[in-house]
Structures are given as structure tokens and as C-alpha cells.
């Protein structure tokens, strides 16, 4: 039986919900789809926000052959199979052993078969393709034999090799707002009480796939979609950490919040849950590096040093031993005194930078590399250890950083 999420999946941008910064009028993906512009790109965002749907809509719009695989199970042979449909193949009669590099070269030779349709290779969870697999894919993307659409929940700057990343545009997708989630739920065609709808929106936390899955699971057990029935269906579901699905983000959230609350036992449990499920240790360590500055900050600057060293250990050691390094860091970060003073100060300054634009910088701290600039007063009166307020005039007196909060 076809899952409900597939049944109601939009076939065009007319019914697509969310990501207005990408698919709204005049926005880059809409323009590319309307103009049938072919190029490789990566969709980066949380689960259930439309990455797969956008890839399918794009492929249909440009009239391409669409090949969809997950990096969890895909490999070089799958790429060869996609390419070899209309490319010269190695002679089947030859008994000579041929290396991967030679096979790649042969597959890159001009086709003897006319195939006007471009090929789009949609690779879900591209961050799970290792370096060797990405290196193998690269020449096919370079020559235009494949147009790559990668989907990832991880920062592609960390997980995609630079050569491949440089040949792709990166589009960042956002989690769906409450209003957008409401629209998605309406598209499912089910009858649901307003209270249950609000509960479902909060539970799904911007993940449309999770909301639709809950509707489908509950509908199979109950005639009415109420809060109580949703909760019962959720409890009856076999709960597990799914590194490819919803629990991925639930568990990392619980992990961070446990460290923030200075509860090492809870943090260790969620760490163990992720490690046991085979979560990428670098993913965990990166969150710890962020946490060290975001939540601990100046209260213990050694936390950032330790977190970075643990990240390096995960890179060089790997499982199973790096689990020991992770546990070391988790306990330390959990027990640290916490301060968000530097983090909060940065975000407050960032808001002013965004809202006020390029307000004039005081002349005395401007760079003065030429005589004209010096004559204009650039750098005049500058003192290294001045007590004068160096903020722009419009912001003078403003205090972002509050030492008393450390």
C-alpha cells in the first residue's frame, strides 16, 4: 500500500508548501525550473521540509531521466549502471581485469547511442558518501553526464569534497513554520479537530513527513484523529533511534539539553543511544564544539579547546574507541559552569548589523592607506588603548556584552 506521504506529494510548485526564499516568484529554484536550467545542486536542511519533492519537481520540469538513490546503500556500481545505459562499455568478451579508474575512463568516452534526455542523479544523504565514492562521482558531474542533486541534513562544507562542492550550488532549506505545517496537514484530506491539529504541529516541529506519518499511523488504529488517539498511536509505535529519520534530531536535541542542564547521566545515555545506532561521531563532536562556545563560553574557555580536540580524535581514531573520547567530553561539558554571555552578545550585535545596515564607522578607526583618505580624516586621532566609544555614532553607548552574566 502506497504511503500517505507519497500519495499527497506535490507534483509541481503550485502545490509545494514552504521554502518561499527558494521557490517564490523570482527566486532561484523557481526560475531554474521555469527556465529549465540544468545544473547540479545540493539541498541542505532538516528532515521533512521538501528536499526529495523539490528534486522530483525539478527533474520533471527539465524532462530528465531521474535516478533516486540513498547514499546509505548506494555505491560505485550504481553510478556505473546509471551511466552505462547509453555509454560505451568494456567488452564483455574480454577477460582482462580492469581497474575502477579504467572503467571510469571508459564510461566517460563519447556515447554511440543518442539519448536526448539529461540524467539527474538524486543522492539522498549525500553526506554518507565517502571520499572515494565522491571522487568516483566527480568526473561524471564535471562532464555533464550526470546532473547531481544531493540532499543532506549536514553542513555540506564538512561532508562533501571541495571539488564536488565547487561544481554544485547549495540551497539551504528551512524547517516549516506552523502555518505551513497547517497547510500540509490540510492537504492530507483528513478530518482533524483544531486542538489535535495544533498538538500535531507542535509535536512534528517543522517536519511535514513526521506529521503525515503520525496521521497515517493513527488513522490505521482509530476512526477519529484526537490528541488522545495521537498520543496512544505514538506510544504503541516501536520507539528507536533512527539515524536516517525523525529520532535523529530528537535524540541530538535531548543530548544537548541534558548537557545544558548539567546532567551528565542523561547526556551520557543519549550519547550511548547515538553511538549504539552508529551515528557519525563527527556529527556528535561538532555539536559539542558548538555547545562549548554557545552554552559554556567564557565561563570555561578550556571547554572549546577540549571539544576541538575530541573532534580531532573522532576524525583520526573512529569507532569504537572514539566513543571513550566522546564520553570524556560529554561529562566535562555537562559539569562546566554555563554562560551564554558571549553568544547572546553576538546575536544581539548581529540583529543590529542586519536591521541598521552599514552605519558609518567612526573616522578615527577607519583604514587610511592613501593620502586622500588621511586628508579626509581617516585614522586621525586614533589611539591604541583609547577609552572612547568606538561604536558607530548611532550605536554609541550600546552594551552587547554583559560581564556580569558570566
In tens, the pLDDT along 171-198 reads 999 888 889 999 999 988 888 888 989 8
Which residue's C-alpha cell is 502545490? 15
pLDDT of 85 reads 66
Given a cut of 70, is residue 273 above it in pLDDT?
yes
Q: Which of 234, 238, 191, 241 is nearest to 210 (CA)?
A: 234
Give the orientation angle of helix 227-236 with respect to helix 194-204, to 10 degrees: 40
CA distance 47 to 213: 13
Max intra-chain CA distance, the chain = 83
CA distance 347 to 82: 46
User: What letter would DSSP give residue 237?
Assistant: S
Considering only 207-216, 238-247, 283-292, which range has the smallest mean pLDDT? 238-247
The DSSP element (H or E) to which 292 belongs, if any, is none
CA distance 80 to 136: 10
Report the C-alpha dihedral over residues 390, 391, 396, 397, rounded to 10 degrees. Answer: -80
Domain boundaries, the chain: 19-90+100-172, 178-236, 246-335, 358-405
In the CATH hierarchy, which top-level class contains the domain 178-236?
mainly alpha
pLDDT of 78 reads 87
Contacts of 182 (CB under 8 A, 6+ apart): 197, 201
CA distance 260 to 242: 23
pLDDT band at 1 (very low <50, low <70, confident <90, very high): low
Which residue's C-alpha cell is 506510544? 235
Task: Give the side-chain half-sphere CA count within 13 A for 23.
Answer: 21
Given a cut of 50, is residue 375 above it in pLDDT?
yes
pLDDT of 278 reads 79
The CATH number assigned to the domain with range 246-335 reads 1.20.272.10
Q: Are 178-236 and 246-335 in the same CATH fold?
A: no
Q: What region, left, alpha or beta, does residue 24 occupy, with left being phi > 0 and alpha being psi -120 to 50 degrees?
A: beta
State pLDDT tens for residues 13-68.
988 999 999 999 999 999 999 999 999 999 998 888 999 999 999 999 999 999 99
CA distance 51 to 187: 18
The CATH number assigned to the domain with range 19-90+100-172 reads 3.40.50.300
Given a cut of 70, is residue 101 above it in pLDDT?
no
Give the orientation angle of helix 131-142 with respect to helix 100-107, to 10 degrees: 20
Which grid cell sits at 5?
Answer: 506521504
CA distance 217 to 136: 40
Give the orientation angle of helix 131-142 with respect to helix 76-84, to 10 degrees: 20
pLDDT band at 246 (very low <50, low <70, confident <90, very high): low
Per-position DSSP letters for 94-151, written without gaps between them: ------HHHHHHHHTSPPSS---S-EEEEEETGGGS-HHHHHHHHHHHHTTS-EEEEE
**Cβ atoms of residues 45 and 155 within 8 Å:** no
For residue 175, CA distances in Å to 7, 50, 145, 208, 238 come to 21, 9, 32, 9, 25
State pLDDT tens for residues 348-374.
999 999 888 888 999 999 998 888 888
Q: Which of 338, 350, 266, 268 is nearest to 300 (CA)?
A: 338
Amino acid at each position: 500500500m502506497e504511503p500517505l506521504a507519497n500519495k499527497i506529494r506535490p507534483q509541481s510548485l503550485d502545490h509545494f508548501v514552504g521554502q518561499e526564499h527558494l521557490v517564490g516568484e523570482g527566486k532561484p529554484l523557481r526560475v531554474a525550473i521555469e527556465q529549465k536550467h540544468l545544473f547540479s545542486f545540493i539541498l541542505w536542511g532538516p528532515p521533512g521540509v521538501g528536499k526529495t519533492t523539490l528534486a522530483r519537481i525539478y527533474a520533471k520540469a527539465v524532462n530528465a531521466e531521474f535516478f533516486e538513490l540513498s547514499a546509505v546503500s548506494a555505491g560505485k556500481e550504481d553510478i556505473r549502471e546509471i551511466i552505462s545505459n547509453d555509454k560505451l562499455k568494456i567488452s564483455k568478451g574480454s577477460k582482462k581485469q580492469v581497474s575502477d579508474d579504467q572503467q571510469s575512463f571508459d564510461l566517460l568516452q563519447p556515447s554511440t547511442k543518442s539519448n536526448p534526455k539529461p540524467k539527474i542523479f538524486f543522492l539522498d544523504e549525500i553526506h554518507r558518501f565517502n571520499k572515494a565514492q565522491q571522487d568516483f562521482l566527480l568526473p561524471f558531474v564535471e562532464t555533464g553526464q550526470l546532473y547531481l542533486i544531493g540532499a543532506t541534513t549536514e553542513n555540506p562544507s564538512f561532508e562533501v569534497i571541495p571539488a564536488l562542492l565547487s561544481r554544485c550550488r547549495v540551497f539551504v532549506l528551512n524547517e516549516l513554520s506552523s502555518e505551513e505545517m497547517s497547510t500540509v496537514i490540510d492537504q492530507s484530506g483528513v478530518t482533524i479537530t483544531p486542538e489535535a491539529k495544533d498538538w500535531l504541529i507542535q509535536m512534528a516541529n517543522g517536519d511535514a513527513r513526521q506529521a503525515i506519518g503520525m496521521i497515517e499511523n493513527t488513522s490505521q488504529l482509530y476512526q477519529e484523529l484526537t490528541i488522545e488517539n495521537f498520543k496512544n498511536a505514538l506510544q504503541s509505535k516501536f520507539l528507536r533511534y533512527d539515524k536516517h529519520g525523525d529520532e535523529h534530531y530528537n535524540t541530538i536535541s535531548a543530548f544537548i539539553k541534558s548537557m545544558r542542564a548539567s546532567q551528565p547521566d542523561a547526556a551520557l545515555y543519549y550519547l550511548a543511544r547515538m553511538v549504539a545506532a552508529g551515528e557519525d561521531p563527527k556529527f556528535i563532536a561538532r555539536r559539542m564544539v558548538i555547545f562549548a562556545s554557545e552554552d559554556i563560553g567564557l565561563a570555561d574557555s578550556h571547554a572549546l579547546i577540549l571539544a576541538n580536540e575530541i573532534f580531532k580524535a573522532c576524525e583520526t581514531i573512529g569507532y569504537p574507541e572514539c566513543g571513550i573520547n566522546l564520553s570524556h567530553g560529554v561529562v566535562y561539558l555537562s559539569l562546566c559552569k554555563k554562560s551564554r554571555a558571549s553568544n547572546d552578545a553576538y546575536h544581539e550585535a548581529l540583529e543590529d548589523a542586519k536591521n541598521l545596515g552599514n552605519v558609518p564607522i567612526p573616522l578615527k578607526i577607519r583604514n587610511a592607506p592613501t593620502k586622500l583618505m588621511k586628508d579626509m580624516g581617516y585614522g586621525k586621532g586614533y589611539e591604541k588603548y583609547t577609552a572612547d566609544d568606538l561604536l558607530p555614532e548611532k550605536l554609541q553607548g550600546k552594551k552587547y556584552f554583559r560581564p556580569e552574566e558570566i
